[in-house]
Structure formats: structure tokens, C-alpha cells
């Protein structure tokens, strides 16, 4: 039996490269896809389910291009020593936390942000996981959380040499196994990338092995790249080359590779990224929080590099991240800089990046998968195609997501979750596990 949902009377932002605002339109969902988009008056007859979108705006579900579900357990953790540098933040907080994550903790720390993502209309997330003392099978625990919440996610395990040879080997294997599994499964909910931490914790030998596996499996890589200048200093000291040059040397770049951050890349490195077809993921709130600098995304965009937007686990609210991206471009340059680059990163490039792994996401278009969000919005000024991004950044970003749909399934309606999960119990269990993790901190 086909399942139809009619969303009627909405202003619809189509998304995509030539995004348009369609007024008084309705969108018909049939099963998992968008069947028809037309003026509301063209839809007659009864539909099994109708959503009235008056007082709202319909958008493609948001995509988060760089996330760490496991960071959930850091929330409220006041025990980490104050850090003066980015490397100290890793040593004092993240590399202590990840070592204490069990498989159960990996599952719970994923469910929490995934449920929150539903609340914020974020429907696809590219995750980067670390749990060095419980590596094997960790990705399938996260997969369970993703499937339970009905969202889409591309998963990877971050290989690093920082915990010794055995952990490196286990990390490589976890990626290989999960990539094979996701390929065989071949659905549009779970994809796999090959995860690497960052070049400064990876030896030549490990990069070589990872590259060989990646090539064999035709997989892209998800890696932190020149997030802080320490990455460049270490690379120049030990390898006598720049970070992007080293990644190129080992065959890590390519059209399926995600380079998170790229705050400290020079012009030559941008050219290499462009040539390779790799995508850059900008994470402005994390960069501000870690005081590592502001990425030159306007120059990257000018060169034709696909620059997407991630949150690096600071939030799952993509509109909050978009605003931060814009403020930081203003602060770095001047208030005329970055408007289109930041808006396009979220609304155009993230979809293009996701579609390197998934199928037909990120646009409200006939034949595309029905991943949609209805945001509350009564525009107080004229709302048109030309000024939509202004409304998005300054107005819609301050509204609530009302309804979230993924693959034609309503996950939240009227701000009520319809996941069939016991949220209170999940939070209770998560807090219990987090307390155990913290005890050993
Ligand atoms: Zn990250």
C-alpha cells in the first residue's frame, strides 16, 4: 500500500543551486519520495494524511557534514584541566574521554544528539567516531542508534596511532568491515567513509595502509585537516611538507574525501584540494571555541572548492551554526563578506556533499527523497526568492522546527516526537553511563 502525505499551503524553499521560493504550494509525498510539487489549488480529493503548513515554511531537511556523536558525554564535564592550546584540549579532554567509552556508551552518546537532530530538523549527519578501547563493533552500535531514530548518517572510525599499534590495526579493520557491510546493505540510511583522525597522529605506514584499503573499497576519507596551526608545524617538522601535500602524497584526497576544518591551509594547498575534488567542511563554532582561527572559506569558494558546513558536535542546530559562520566571516574580514558563501555552504553544498554518498537528498524536488522540515514562520517583511537567505539567517533560525520528515516518515509532528523511543529513559541511562566515565577521569 502506498503512503501519501500532502503538505499544503506552504511557502516552499526548494534548496539546490537555483533554490526558489514557491508560494502557496503543496508537496505530495508518496512512500519515501516527493511525488509532486504544485500550486495548492491543483490538489483535489482526499489524502490519507494532510499537514497544514500555514504559518510555517517548508525546507529540505538540514545536513550536518561533520559531527562527533560521542562528544555527548563531555557535556557538563568540569574536570578537564584548563587548556592553553588546541593540542592541550585534545590531551586534557577528548583523548581522555574517548578512551573511556564502551560500546554501550557509544550507543547512548549517539542516540541523544540524533533525537535532538530530529527536534532541529537535521536529517543527515556525517559522523566521525572514536572509542579506542572498544573499537570493534562500535560503528554498528552507532548504526543501531541511527536506525532507531530514522535519520541518515555516514559513519567512520577515526584511525590514529596515538594509542599504539594494536589500536591502529583495530581501527583500520573496523573501517574496512563497516564499509564492506554498508556497501552490501546498500540502503540510503547508512553509509560508510574511511575515518582518519588527523595527519599529525598518523605515521607514513598507517597512511599507506589506510590509502590502500580506501582504494580497494573505492571509499573516501573523513579526516581533520589543518584544524590548528600545530598540525602544520608538526607536518613541516616531521615530514618537511604542508598538511595537504602529505595527504595528497598518500592518496587520501579525492572526490569522496571530507576535509574537516582547513583553517590553516595556504593558497597552494587550496589549489591541491580543488584539483583533487575533495570537499572542505567548515565548523565555525568549534573553531571559535578552540580558538584555532577562522577558515578562509570565501577564498576556497572563489577557487571552486565545495565548502560545506558541519558542527564538530557543538550543536545539531544547523541554523545556529550558519549564523555563527556568518558572524565569524564578518569579524575576520568586514561586514560585507561571507553572506552567500556561508548560506550556500549549508543550503547548497551540504546537499551536494551528502549526495556523493547518499542518493537524491537535500532538495525539495520531484523524485527526491522526502527529507523535509517545517519551521514556524510568519514573515514580518516580504519573503521572496531573492531575500530568502536573509529571512533564514535572521528570522527562521530563531523559530522552532515543527515537523520533521525523513524518507517519507514523520519523525516529529507539531513538535511531538514520533520515534517510539523513551527519551527520559535514554537520558537517565546516558547520565548513568556518563557518571561512570567521569569517575575515572
Ligand atoms: Zn571534528
d(C-alpha 231, C-alpha 289), whole Å = 17
Ligand 1 center to residue 142 CA distance, Å?
Answer: 17
Ligand 1 center to residue 173 CA distance, Å?
Answer: 21
Ligand 1 center to residue 72 CA distance, Å?
Answer: 13
CA 30 from centre of chain: 27
Ligand 1 center to residue 147 CA distance, Å?
Answer: 22
* Full strand arrangement of the beta sheet holding 62-67: 62-67, 122-127, 152-155, 190-192
Ligand 1 center to residue 412 CA distance, Å?
Answer: 28
d(C-alpha 277, C-alpha 304), whole Å = 9
Within 38-137, residue ranges assigned H as helices are 86-89, 95-97, 103-120
pLDDT band at 438 (very low <50, low <70, confident <90, very high): confident
Ligand 1 center to residue 171 CA distance, Å?
Answer: 17
d(C-alpha 61, C-alpha 350), whole Å = 11
Ligand 1 center to residue 65 CA distance, Å?
Answer: 10
Over 80: is that where the pLDDT of 140 sits?
Answer: yes
Ligand 1 center to residue 24 CA distance, Å?
Answer: 40
Ligand 1 center to residue 312 CA distance, Å?
Answer: 5
Q: What is the pLDDT of residues 180-202, one digit of tens each?
A: 999 999 999 999 999 999 999 99
Q: What is the pLDDT of residues 114-129, one digit of tens each?
A: 999 999 999 999 999 9
Q: What is the pLDDT of residues 20-60, one digit of tens each?
A: 999 999 999 999 999 999 999 999 888 999 999 999 999 99
d(C-alpha 83, C-alpha 121), whole Å = 34
Ligand 1 center to residue 30 CA distance, Å?
Answer: 36
Over 90: is that where the pLDDT of 2 sits?
Answer: no
Bridge partners of 33? 30, 369
| Mean pLDDT calculated for residue range 345-353 | 98
Domains of the chain in sequence order:
4-61+363-416 (2.30.40.10), 66-354 (3.20.20.140)
Ligand 1 center to residue 293 CA distance, Å?
Answer: 15
350 to 9, 53, 212, 281, 385: CA distances (angstroms): 27, 25, 27, 9, 20
Please give the torsion angle defined by the CA atoms of residues 362, 368, 370 and 372, in that order, rounded to the nearest 10 degrees.
Answer: 30
Ligand 1 center to residue 112 CA distance, Å?
Answer: 18
377 to 259, 292, 296: CA distances (angstroms): 34, 35, 32
Ligand 1 center to residue 120 CA distance, Å?
Answer: 20
d(C-alpha 172, C-alpha 183), whole Å = 17
Ligand 1 center to residue 38 CA distance, Å?
Answer: 40
The proportion of the chain whose per-residue pLDDT surpasses 90, expressed as a percent, equals 90
Ligand 1 center to residue 104 CA distance, Å?
Answer: 21
| Mean pLDDT calculated for residue range 74-82 | 81
395 phi, psi to nearest 5 deg: -125, -65
Ligand 1 center to residue 128 CA distance, Å?
Answer: 7
Ligand 1 center to residue 115 CA distance, Å?
Answer: 20
Q: What is the pLDDT of residues 293-311, one digit of tens each?
A: 999 999 999 999 999 999 9
Among 119-123, 386-390, 430-434, the minimum mean pLDDT is found in 430-434
pTM for the whole thing?
A: 0.97
How confident is the prediction for the chain on average, in pLDDT?
Answer: 96
Ligand 1 center to residue 80 CA distance, Å?
Answer: 18
Ligand 1 center to residue 260 CA distance, Å?
Answer: 7
More confident residue, 439 or 240: 240
| b/e code 267-277 from CB counts within 10 Å (16+ = b) | eebbebbeebe
Amino acid at each position: 500500500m502506498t503512503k501519501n502525505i500532502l503538505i499544503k499551503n506552504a511557502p516552499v524553499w526548494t534548496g539546490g543551486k537555483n533554490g526558489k521560493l514557491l508560494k502557496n504550494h503543496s508537496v505530495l509525498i508518496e512512500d519515501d519520495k516527493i511525488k509532486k510539487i504544485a500550486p495548492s489549488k491543483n490538489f483535489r480529493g482526499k489524502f490519507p494524511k494532510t499537514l497544514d503548513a500555514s504559518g510555517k515554511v517548508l525546507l529540505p531537511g538540514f545536513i550536518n557534514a561533520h559531527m562527533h556523536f560521542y562528544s555527548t558525554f563531555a557535556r557538563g564535564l568540569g574536570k578537564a584541566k584548563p587548556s592553553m592550546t588546541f593540542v592541550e584540549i585534545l590531551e586534557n579532554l577528548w583523548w581522555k574521554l574517548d578512551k573511556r567509552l564502551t560500546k554501550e556508551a557509544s550507543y547512548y552518546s549517539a542516540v541523544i544528539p540524533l533525537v535532538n537532530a530530529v527536534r532541529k530538523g537535521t536529517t543527515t549527519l556525517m559522523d566521525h567516531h572514536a572509542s579506542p578501547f572498544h573499537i570493534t563493533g562500535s560503528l554498528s552500535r552507532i548504526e543501531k542508534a541511527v536506525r532507531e531514530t530514522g535519520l541518515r548518517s555516514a559513519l567512520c572510525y577515526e584511525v590514529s596511532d596515538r594509542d599504539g599499534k594494536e589500536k591502529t590495526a583495530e581501527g583500520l579493520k573496523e573501517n574496512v568491515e563497516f564499509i564492506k557491510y554498508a556497501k552490501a546493505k546498500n540502503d540510503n540510511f547508512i553509509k560508510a567513509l574511511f575515518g582518519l583522525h588527523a595527519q599529525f597522529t598518523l605515521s607514513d605506514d598507517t597512511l599507506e595502509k589506510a590509502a590502500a584499503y580506501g582504494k580497494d573499497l573505492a571509499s573516501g576519507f573523513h579526516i581533520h585537516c589543518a584544524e590548528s596551526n600545530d598540525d602544520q608545524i608538526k607536518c613541516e617538522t616531521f615530514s618537511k611538507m604542508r598538511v595537504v601535500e602529505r595527504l595528497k602524497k598518500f592518496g587520501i584526497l579525492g572526490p569522496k574525501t571530507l576535509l574537516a576544518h582547513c583553517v590553516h591551509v595556504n593558497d597552494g594547498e587550496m589549489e591541491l584540494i580543488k584539483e583533487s575534488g575533495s570537499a572542505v567542511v567548515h565548523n565555525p563554532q568549534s573553531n571559535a571555541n578552540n580558538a584555532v582561527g577562522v577558515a578562509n572559506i570565501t577564498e576556497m569558494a572563489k577557487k571552486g572548492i565545495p565548502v560545506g558546513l558541519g558542527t564538530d558536535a557543538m550543536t545539531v542546530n544547523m541554523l545556529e551554526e550558519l549564523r555563527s559562520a556568518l558572524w565569524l566571516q564578518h569579524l575576520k574580514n568586514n561586514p560585507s563578506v561571507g553572506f552567500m558563501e556561508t548560506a550556500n555552504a549549508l543550503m547548497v553544498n551540504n546537499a551536494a556533499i551528502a549526495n556523493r554518498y547518499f542518493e537524491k537528498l537535500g532538495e525539495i524536488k520531484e523524485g527526491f527523497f522526502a527529507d523535509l522540515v517545517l519551521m514556524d514562520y510568519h514573515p514580518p517583511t516580504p519573503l521572496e526568492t531573492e531575500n530568502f537567505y536573509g529571512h533564514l539567517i535572521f528570522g527562521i533560525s530563531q523559530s522552532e522546527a515543527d515537523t520533521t520528515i525523513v524518507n517519507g516518515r514523520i519523525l516529529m509532528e507539531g513538535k511531538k516526537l514520533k520515534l517510539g523511543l523513551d527519551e527520559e529513559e535514554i537520558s537517565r541511562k546516558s547520565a548513568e553511563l556518563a557518571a561512570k566515565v567521569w569517575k575515572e577521569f
